[in-house]
């Protein structure tokens, strides 16, 4: 995939450092969603207290790599542990939402899928806004799986998603699909403007898990290849999925995507400003947004528009499940 050319001077605000892992695009296997992530940030919307950015000052643009904001990255500055120190105080802020000791890892019924993203920027937005998007085929596959799981009324059947960024050599966390795919709405805050549809998710585990911790898990439904060698929306069997949940929960990782919060927040702001500038130079197109896309004012304030568009998704799914159980 190719990065879009910079439109405004803002995108030239490149900062010092080469401490980032940029994506080897030729080696990317597949992408799962990056363009529709615009779901209601669930009740916990502001996952990291974005209004309190000062808590993450250590990860400011001081350490940001010299890359364009539209360039796809496999990992943020935390990959260079010799450059950035991770402080316990920052981890304590996240512990009340993620990586909880009470996270359940044993289920009689559950569905599991591998999610492969081209960019960690998009995973950051997924955690921030509690939404994800895949390719058209991926969206349909996940939507079918969600509806099938909802139909299993005898017991709970969650749909878990294991997230990894192509070329990163690691997984970054586990989320649960909490609602069906909305096929007729697109979100404009993904790294690339090529994804459509979106669905709500809830993150349970946010930590870096090296592929070496999972490489022994073999998928019979993928030519007996390791779970670390898969494409986007590859389904994982029940036993393998439960083993992965155990590993994700118990692995004592010292780093996570949340360590690079400030870095990705700055990149998101630059990307948004560049896109707003682009539309400003194309006034004739400003009134031609499709019915299913975000208008310009929504682009400027994606959080509020996400809430307005998707607030009832998870609630509707839960209500339908409750009716099925009664």
pLDDT band at 278 (very low <50, low <70, confident <90, very high): confident
Q: Is 13 exposed, middle or buried (0-12, 13-18, 19+ CB in 10 A)?
A: middle
pLDDT at 15 over 60: no
pLDDT tens across 182-201, in order? 999 988 888 888 888 999 99
Residue 171's DSSP bridge partners are 164, 209
pTM: 0.68
Q: What is the pLDDT of residue 79?
A: 76
Q: What is the pLDDT of residue 191?
A: 86
pLDDT tens across 130-151, in order? 999 999 999 999 999 999 999 8
From the list 148, 142, 147, 171, the residue with the least C-alpha distance to 255 is 171
Give phi and psi for 163, each to the nearest 5.
-95, 135
pLDDT at 62 over 70: no
From the list 93, 94, 38, 84, the residue with the least C-alpha distance to 61 is 84
Dist. CA 226–CA 247, nearest whole Å? 15
State mean pLDDT over 47-71: 43
Residue scoring higher pLDDT (144 or 62): 144
Residue ranges of the domains in the chain?
A: 12-81+101-275+297-325
- What is the homologous superfamily of the domain 12-81+101-275+297-325 according to CATH? ph1033 like domains (3.10.590.10)
CB distance 65 to 77 below 8 Å: yes
């Amino acid at each position: 995939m190719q990065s879009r050319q910079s439109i405004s001077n803002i995108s030239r605000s490149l900062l010092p450092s080469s401490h980032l892992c940029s994506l080897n695009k030729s080696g990317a296997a597949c992408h799962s969603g990056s363009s529709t992530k615009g779901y209601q940030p669930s009740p916990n919307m502001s996952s990291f207290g974005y209004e309190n950015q000062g808590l993450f000052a250590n990860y400011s643009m001081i350490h940001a790599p010299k890359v364009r904001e539209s360039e796809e990255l496999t990992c943020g500055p935390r990959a260079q542990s010799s450059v950035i120190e991770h402080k316990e105080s920052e981890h304590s802020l996240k512990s009340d939402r993620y990586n909880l000791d009470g996270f359940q890892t044993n289920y009689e019924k559950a569905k599991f899928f591998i999610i492969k993203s081209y960019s960690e920027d998009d995973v950051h937005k997924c955690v921030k806004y509690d939404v994800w998007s895949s390719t058209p085929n991926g969206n349909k596959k996940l939507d079918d799986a969600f509806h099938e799981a909802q139909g299993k009324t005898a017991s709970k059947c969650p749909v878990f998603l294991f997230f990894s960024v192509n070329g990163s050599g690691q997984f970054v966390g586990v989320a649960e699909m909490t609602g069906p795919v909305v096929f007729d709405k697109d979100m404009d805050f993904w790294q690339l403007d090529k994804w459509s549809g979106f669905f709500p998710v809830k993150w349970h585990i946010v930590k870096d898990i090296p592929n070496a911790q999972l490489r022994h898990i073999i998928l019979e439904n993928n030519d007996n290849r390791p779970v670390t060698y898969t494409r986007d929306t590859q389904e994982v069997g029940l036993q393998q999925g439960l083993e992965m949940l155990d590993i994700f929960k118990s692995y004592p990782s010292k780093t996570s995507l949340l360590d690079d919060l400030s870095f990705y927040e700055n990149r998101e702001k630059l990307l948004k400003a560049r896109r707003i500038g682009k539309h400003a130079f194309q006034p004739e197109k400003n009134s031609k947004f499709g019915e299913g896309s975000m208008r310009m004012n929504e682009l400027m304030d994606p959080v509020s528009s996400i809430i307005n568009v998707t607030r009832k998704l998870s609630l509707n799914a839960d209500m339908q499940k409750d009716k099925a159980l009664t």
